[in-house]
């Protein structure tokens, strides 16, 4: 009887272990925003201890690693990523960004990744950021469980079993919550055309709001008066996505940058080439690391890390 029980327990343990290994092989990492409530709750509740806050939409969220940027500017600087998907640069966002900065008397910088979608009227309510801020802790906990219970398709499962057998990367879209607010993403295989239809539809329906852009410049001046350095840049995208934004969004980048600088901001002209996106709009993880270091290096080269007035 004892031997039977031992064999039964051993069989159950082996079955459970095999099940977990199988799920790991065939199922992509937890994906998409609704499953990251705890991650975003931590981001929203980050303490006011940071010298540099990186702010923006999903391109900042996925393209900028505070740790890698810090390796270039110096690890003494406390840096956090305050990027969100489906988020605009507007009065709802401004105080949330500022609350993450350290107090007066210390070096303070807001580093903003700028893109045309951030100035759309339809995103002025920052729906994703607000949903995380207002989510109950019960919602947070159930979302954590949902990460591991969401089923995958049979087609994707079959591809990933083949990948595990052959030693090639797993198929699908993957996300990983990294340090200080960075949500790393990658897809196998890469698909630089994946976001094209989304951006075509977005900017056919709606153009950037000059009212929101003007409000951004007013806020830039207000931050400057508080001794906060504000640095802007445009994150890399595929040539096709850049073309769509330039042709359809009514965003005049040259005029925007000129007014940004005229209102007291600094601007980094970062090259678009040399990086890989997983969908045309967001950098895959290795390119995000490379870009983060490139931003940090430019901040040093432009001498933007010290007192400025």
Q: Is the pLDDT reported for residue 173 higher than 80?
A: no
Q: Are residues 232 and 268 in contact, defined by beta-carbon separation less than 8 angstroms?
A: yes
> What is the C-alpha to C-alpha distance for residues 137 and 149, in angstroms, rounded to an integer?
19
Q: Indicate the pLDDT class of residue 195, thresholds 50, 70 and 90.
A: very high
Q: Is the pLDDT reported for residue 170 higher than 70?
A: no
Q: Is the pLDDT reported for residue 23 higher than 50?
A: no
Q: Is the pLDDT reported for residue 96 higher than 70?
A: yes
Q: HSE on the CB side for 4, CA within 13 Å?
A: 1
Name the DSSP letter for residue 105: T
Q: Is the pLDDT reported for residue 250 higher than 80?
A: yes
* Average pLDDT score over residue span 211-231: 96
Fold annotation for 2-301: Rossmann fold (3.40.50)
Q: Tokens 């330039």 sit at which residue?
A: 246
Q: Tell me the DSSP string of 262-290.
A: HTT-EEE---STT--BSSSSSB-HHHHHH
Domain boundaries, the chain: 2-301
pTM of this structure: 0.82
Q: Tokens 């960004």 sit at which residue?
A: 97
């Amino acid at each position: 009887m004892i031997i039977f029980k031992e064999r039964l327990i051993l069989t159950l343990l082996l079955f459970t272990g095999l099940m977990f290994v199988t799920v790991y092989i065939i199922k992509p990492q937890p994906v998409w925003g609704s499953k990251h409530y705890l991650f975003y709750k931590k981001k929203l509740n980050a303490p006011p201890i940071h010298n540099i806050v990186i702010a923006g939409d999903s391109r900042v969220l996925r393209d900028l690693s505070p740790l890698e940027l810090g390796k270039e500017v110096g690890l003494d600087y406390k840096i956090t990523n305050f990027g969100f998907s489906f988020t605009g640069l507007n009065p709802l966002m401004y105080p949330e960004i500022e609350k993450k900065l350290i107090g007066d008397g210390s070096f303070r910088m807001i580093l903003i990744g700028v893109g045309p979608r951030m100035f759309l009227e339809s995103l002025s309510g920052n729906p994703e950021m607000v949903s995380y801020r207002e989510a109950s802790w019960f919602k947070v906990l159930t979302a954590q469980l949902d990460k591991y219970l969401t089923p995958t398709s049979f087609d994707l499962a079959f591809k990933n079993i083949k990948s595990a057998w052959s030693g090639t990367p797993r198929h699908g879209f993957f996300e990983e919550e990294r340090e200080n607010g960075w949500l790393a993403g990658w897809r196998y295989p890469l698909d630089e055309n994946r976001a094209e239809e989304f951006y075509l539809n977005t900017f056919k329906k709606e153009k950037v709001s000059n009212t929101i852009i003007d409000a951004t410049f007013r806020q830039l001046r207000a931050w400057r008066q508080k001794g906060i350095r504000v640095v802007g840049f445009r994150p890399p995208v595929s040539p096709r996505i850049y073309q769509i934004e330039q042709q359809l969004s009514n965003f005049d980048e040259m005029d925007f940058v000129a007014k940004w600088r005229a209102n007291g901001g600094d601007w980094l002209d970062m090259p678009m080439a040399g990086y890989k996106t997983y969908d045309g709009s967001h950098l895959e993880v290795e390119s995000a690391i490379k870009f983060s270091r490139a931003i940090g290096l430019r901040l040093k080269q432009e001498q933007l890390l010290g007192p400025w007035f």
